[in-house]
């Protein structure tokens, strides 16, 4: 650093001398001499800029935030209904919008498919969500949408194709992961380049609730198949600086990762995945560093829980927002400042009126908690209980 400042000082003095000589004596020089002086001034300026650029490019970073499942239960669908028959879901994201828009990359798991109005919008067990939820996600600042879930095929293969067309037609710059329009697309590794860092992002689901895909259309959804994941990570290592895997996995409503999750996470770490962010259990699960092969380390958020839903047990209303920096410095890429921000889904249901929104737990008030419709199902629901549950699941060192 001292060397850079020394060079900058020398070049600044040189520029001053040259410019002074040029201004005082310009009439004494021929045109060619004047041009030579001008070129020297440009060269000095270029050297100065290059030294400054070298100093600035030694470290670059990408801020990333990720949240869990958006479950389109009927109460969530009703939340967006407007008096004129249209849908608007901005309320789902309004309290955390700044977090998403300010991040370099914001990621959300869209658990339920946008299968098209012709199927009729529906909640559990076969979900079909209004695509206006997707519109609200984009307006809230999300860059990456995860679509490989156990509910992806709830409206059939045509529903998946409708969803793909919705994103391609309306938001072609949004990265939609986990569903594909062809085998060729499925075999491509999604790479996002931000601030000089190339990030590969991979998304898979454990299954489709018993449904299967037609022969010849297996490309529609990425399934958790070890050979496929290993192949994708191997390709990603050749193309990217950093690899993130988003698996839809685990056991619903279980706070502790299953043996299958642990084994799969270890395998992905051994192969070179740098970050794993899981979804599906609908509750928070633990966070840990995994020691992979050859000293490689992988940060794993086993489950971020729900972002928004109509579920009626307290633990499903507590979710998490992963926040971290991906840093590239002197050709090394690593994670800094990783944490989890606890969030809570708030809803109020009354005759003909449904409101759903999500807050940081730290900004959630007792007044709101006292109006939560979960109290119909769990009279002991409280902010204190949410904090207690968070600390039971997640080591305090990760909490922000």
224/66 Cα distance (integer angstroms): 20
In percent, how much of the chain has pLDDT > 90? Answer: 84
279 strand-pairing partners:
248
Give residue-wise pLDDT tens across range 182-238.
999 999 999 999 999 999 999 999 999 999 999 999 999 999 999 999 999 999 999
With beta carbons less than 8 A apart as the criterion, state whether 13 and 47 touch: no
- The residue among 127, 149, 133 whose CA lies nearest residue 281 is 149
195/172 Cα distance (integer angstroms): 21
3-class DSSP state of 278: coil
Q: For residue 142, what pLDDT is reported?
A: 98
Give residue-wise pLDDT tens across range 309-320.
999 999 999 999
Asked which of 36-50, 74-88, 264-278 is least confident by mean pLDDT, the reply is: 36-50
User: If you average pLDDT over every residue of the chain, what do you get?
Assistant: 89
The token duo for 262 is 């642990």
Name the E strands within 125-255: 144-146, 175-177, 191-194, 197-205, 242-248
Q: Which residues are within 8 A (CB) of 71 and not within 5 positions of it... i.e. 6 or more apart?
A: 111, 112, 127, 282, 306, 308, 309, 310, 311
Structure confidence at residue 58 as a pLDDT band (50, 70, 90): confident
Give residue-wise pLDDT tens across range 378-398.
999 999 999 999 999 999 999
Give residue-wise pLDDT tens across range 107-153.
999 999 999 999 999 999 999 999 999 999 999 999 999 999 999 99
The half-sphere exposure of 96 on its side-chain side, counting CA atoms within 13 A, is 33
């Amino acid at each position: 650093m001292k060397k850079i400042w020394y060079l900058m000082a020398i070049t600044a003095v040189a520029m001053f001398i040259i410019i002074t000589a040029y201004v005082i004596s310009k009439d004494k020089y021929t045109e060619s001499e004047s041009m030579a002086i001008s070129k020297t001034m440009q060269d000095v300026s270029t050297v100065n800029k290059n030294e400054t650029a070298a100093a600035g490019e030694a470290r670059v970073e990408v801020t990333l935030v990720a949240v869990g499942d958006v479950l389109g239960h009927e109460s969530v669908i009703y939340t967006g209904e407007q008096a004129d028959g249209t849908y608007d879901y901005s309320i789902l994201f309004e309290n955390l919008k700044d977090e998403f828009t300010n991040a370099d990359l914001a990621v959300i798991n869209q658990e339920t498919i946008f299968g098209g109005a012709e199927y009729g919008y529906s909640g559990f067990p076969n979900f079909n969500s209004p695509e206006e939820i997707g519109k609200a996600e984009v307006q809230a600042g999300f860059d990456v949408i995860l679509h490989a879930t156990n509910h992806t095929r709830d409206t059939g293969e045509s529903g998946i194709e409708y969803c793909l067309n919705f994103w391609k037609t309306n938001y072609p710059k949004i990265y939609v992961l986990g569903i594909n329009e062809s085998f060729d697309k499925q075999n491509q590794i999604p790479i996002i380049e931000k601030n000089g860092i190339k990030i590969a992002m991979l998304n898979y689901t454990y299954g489709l609730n018993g449904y299967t895909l037609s022969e010849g259309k297996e490309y529609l959804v990425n399934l958790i198949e070890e050979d496929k994941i290993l192949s994708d990570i191997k390709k990603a290592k050749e193309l990217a600086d950093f690899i993130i895997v988003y698996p839809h996995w685990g056991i619903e409503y279980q706070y502790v990762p299953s043996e299958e999750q642990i084994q799969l996470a270890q395998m992905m770490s051994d192969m070179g995945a740098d970050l794993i962010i899981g979804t599906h259990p609908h509750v928070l699960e633990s966070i840990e560093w995994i020691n992979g092969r050859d000293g490689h380390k992988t940060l794993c958020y086993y489950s971020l829980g729900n972002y928004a839903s109509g579920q009626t047990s307290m633990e499903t209303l507590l979710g998490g927002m992963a926040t971290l920096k991906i840093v590239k410095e002197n050709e090394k890429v690593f994670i800094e400042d990783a944490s989890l921000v606890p969030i809570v889904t708030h809803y109020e249901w009354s005759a003909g009126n449904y409101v759903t929104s999500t807050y940081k737990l730290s900004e959630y008030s007792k007044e709101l908690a006292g109006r939560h419709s979960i109290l119909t199902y769990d009279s002991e629901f409280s902010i204190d209980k949410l904090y207690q549950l968070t600390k039971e699941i997640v080591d305090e060192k990760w909490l922000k």
